[in-house]
């Protein structure tokens, strides 16, 4: 009996024009609500997609900048290594060569300063050796190989190697007063330090200074 009532009521609502209009408005409202929900979900989906794409673009940009920076650093490092190879690749040959120059200079140092007492052939030989030494040193200079002969200079541990101390009152302590072996510098790189003797206060001066200190006490 209840079914008949519902059916009859529905039929009456449909047959009634006013009821038809209300039913249509209800359906339109429901459709609008569904459309708004779908549009809202679509907007959220687009915003999320744009955000993800923006993040991916940022990550790719960072990776690209990092790659460019690494490539530039590699290029600079390679250029420096090539330049260093050109400048210093023959440093081991130079170290062996300067030992021969040492022997030549020692031989010339053994010659007396007064060459008038030497026989003519020996004198000419010495003069020839001095010319050879000068040409060798000029060639060294031409190829940026500089001889270090620091006599009278302040001791520099970057270029000199102290072998002994020399008591003296003529120089302040810490100055080079003797050179037992000259050093060499290739461009800005040390090939061999100069072997030197450095000055120190003489024992007499040290004793006098100690006595003066004791007198003041």
CATH code of domain 90-203: 2.30.22.10
> What pLDDT is stored for residue 34 in this prediction?
52
Q: What percent of the chain has pLDDT over 90?
A: 40
pTM of this structure: 0.60
Q: What is the pLDDT of residues 50-108, one digit of tens each?
A: 888 888 888 899 999 999 999 999 999 999 999 888 888 888 889 889 988 999 988 88
Q: What is the pLDDT of residues 152-195, one digit of tens each?
A: 999 999 999 999 999 988 889 999 999 999 999 999 899 999 99
What are the distances in angstroms from CA 217 to CA 76, 204, 208, 211? 65, 20, 14, 10
Q: Which residue has the higher pLDDT, 153 or 25?
A: 153
Judge whether 175 and 154 are in contact, CB under 8 Å. Answer: yes
Tally of CA atoms within 13 A in the half-sphere of 191 that contains its CB: 26
> What pLDDT is stored for residue 136 in this prediction?
92
Beta strand pairing call for 183-186 and 189-192: antiparallel
Mean pLDDT score, 207-211: 55
Q: What percent of the chain has pLDDT over 70?
A: 73
DSSP code string of 165-210: EEE-SSS-TTBEEEEEE-EEEETTEEEEPEEEEEEE--HHHHHHHH
Tally of CA atoms within 13 A in the half-sphere of 112 that contains its CB: 8
> What pLDDT is stored for residue 197 in this prediction?
95
> What pLDDT is stored for residue 161 in this prediction?
95
DSSP state of 150: -
User: Can you tell me the distance from the alpha carbon of 204 to that of 212, in angstroms, rounded to the nearest whole number?
Assistant: 12
How do the domains of the chain map onto residue ranges?
A: 1-88, 90-203
> What pLDDT is stored for residue 7 in this prediction?
44
């Amino acid at each position: 009996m209840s079914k008949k009532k519902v059916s009859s009521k529905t039929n009456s609502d449909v047959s009634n024009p006013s009821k038809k209009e209300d039913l249509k408005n209800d359906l339109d409202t429901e459709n609008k609500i569904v459309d708004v929900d779908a549009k809202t979900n679509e907007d959220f989906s687009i915003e999320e997609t744009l955000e993800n794409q923006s993040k991916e673009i940022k990550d790719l940009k960072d990776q690209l900048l990092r790659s460019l920076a690494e490539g530039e650093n590699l290029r600079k490092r390679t250029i420096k290594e090539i330049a260093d190879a050109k400048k210093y690749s023959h440093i081991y040959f130079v170290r062996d060569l300067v030992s021969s120059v040492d022997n030549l200079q020692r031989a010339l140092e053994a010659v007396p300063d007064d060459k008038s007492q030497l026989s003519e052939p020996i004198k000419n030989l010495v003069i020839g050796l001095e010319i050879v030494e000068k040409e060798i040193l000029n060639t060294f200079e031409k190829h940026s190989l500089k001889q270090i002969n620091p006599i009278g200079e302040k001791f520099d541990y970057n270029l000199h190697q102290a072998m002994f101390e020399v008591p003296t009152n003529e120089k302040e302590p810490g100055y080079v007063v003797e050179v037992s072996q000259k050093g060499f510098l290739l461009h800005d790189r040390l090939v061999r330090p100069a072997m030197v003797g450095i000055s120190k206060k003489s024992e007499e001066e040290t004793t006098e200074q100690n006595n003066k200190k004791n007198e003041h006490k």
